[in-house]
């Protein structure tokens, strides 16, 4: 589910931020979009679950599938990616753009070959941290009907599914003592994955910053 979430949210979020920051003209429409993107980043996750239930599960008839869950989580982290990418683009010194324009580069060439490489550490960090938030969320997935127990391995994006946070909750709620140890092991696995993702974000940021 996280693979599809990142594949969907990352390109849409980065392209939206590039348009808002580099191409959109200043005006009421841009201000309206910017304010709403910032507000959406603070909306409770359960709201995205209700939206995903209505749009992806019912209207688009995807059912309670991996793809419906991925699209719902993509909506959840999309505003975070947009805001983080915009901040990374704003951190690029204006002199880099001016120097590129001065040698005859077009706006897209300037963005592609100069602005994006300079902003890449911040963009990657924002995307990984957004994914770190998504991997621990369970409320939106419970809303769209993710299972608490799956006795099979999903073989495609339209199969039913569960995720580790929901599975941990299921184990913790059981009275048998054996499930408490399994739940603790699941929590450790989830924490290790989160720490690894945050470590990758720090490593990529430091490595790419040395290039500039």
Distance CA 137, CA 182 (A): 20
Residue 211's pLDDT band (boundaries 50, 70, 90)?
Answer: low
- Which CA distances in Å does 105 have to 90, 110, 133, 166, 183? 20, 6, 38, 51, 56
What's the pTM value of the predicted model, to 2 decimals? 0.85
Contact 123, 80 (CB under 8 A): no
Helix locations, 91-209, DSSP H = 94-102, 107-110, 116-135, 139-144, 164-172, 177-209
Taking only Cα atoms into account, the Rg of the chain, rounded to an integer number of angstroms, comes to 20
* pLDDT tens for each residue of 29-71: 888 888 888 888 788 888 898 999 889 988 998 888 899 999 9
Highest mean pLDDT out of 100-114, 129-143, 145-159: 100-114
- Do the beta carbons of residue 52 and residue 75 sit within 8 Å? yes
Kindly tell me if the per-residue pLDDT of 15 is higher than 90: yes
Question: Over 80: is that where the pLDDT of 72 sits?
Answer: yes
Q: Tell whether the model's pLDDT for residue 170 goes beyond 90.
A: no
Q: Is the pLDDT of residue 12 over 80?
A: yes
Band (184; pLDDT cuts 50, 70, 90): very high
Average pLDDT across the chain, whole number: 86
pLDDT band at 209 (very low <50, low <70, confident <90, very high): low
pLDDT (tens digit per residue) in 116-144: 888 888 888 888 888 888 887 888 888 88
Does residue 146 register a pLDDT over 80?
no
Query: Does residue 212 surpass a pLDDT of 70?
Result: no
Count CB atoms within 10 A of the CB of residue 197.
15
């Amino acid at each position: 589910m996280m693979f599809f979430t990142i594949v969907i949210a990352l390109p849409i979020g980065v392209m939206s931020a590039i348009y808002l920051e580099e191409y959109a003209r200043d005006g009421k429409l841009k201000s309206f979009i910017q304010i709403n993107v910032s507000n959406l980043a603070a909306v409770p996750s359960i709201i995205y679950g209700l939206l995903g239930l209505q749009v992806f599960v019912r209207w688009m008839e995807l059912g309670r599938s991996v793809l419906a869950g991925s699209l719902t989580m993509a909506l959840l982290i999309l505003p975070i990616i947009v805001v983080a990418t915009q901040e990374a683009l704003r951190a690029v010194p204006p002199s880099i753009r001016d120097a590129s324009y001065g040698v005859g580069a077009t706006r897209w060439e300037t963005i592609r070959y100069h602005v994006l490489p300079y902003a890449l550490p911040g963009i990657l960090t924002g995307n990984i941290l957004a994914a770190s938030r998504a991997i621990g969320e369970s409320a939106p997935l419970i809303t769209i009907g993710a299972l608490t127990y799956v006795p099979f391995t999903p073989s495609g994006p339209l199969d039913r599914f569960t995720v580790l946070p929901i599975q941990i909750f299921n184990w913790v709620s059981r009275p048998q003592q054996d499930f408490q140890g399994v739940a603790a092991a699941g929590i450790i696995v989830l924490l290790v994955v989160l720490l690894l993702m945050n470590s990758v974000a720090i490593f990529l940021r430091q490595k790419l910053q040395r290039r500039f």
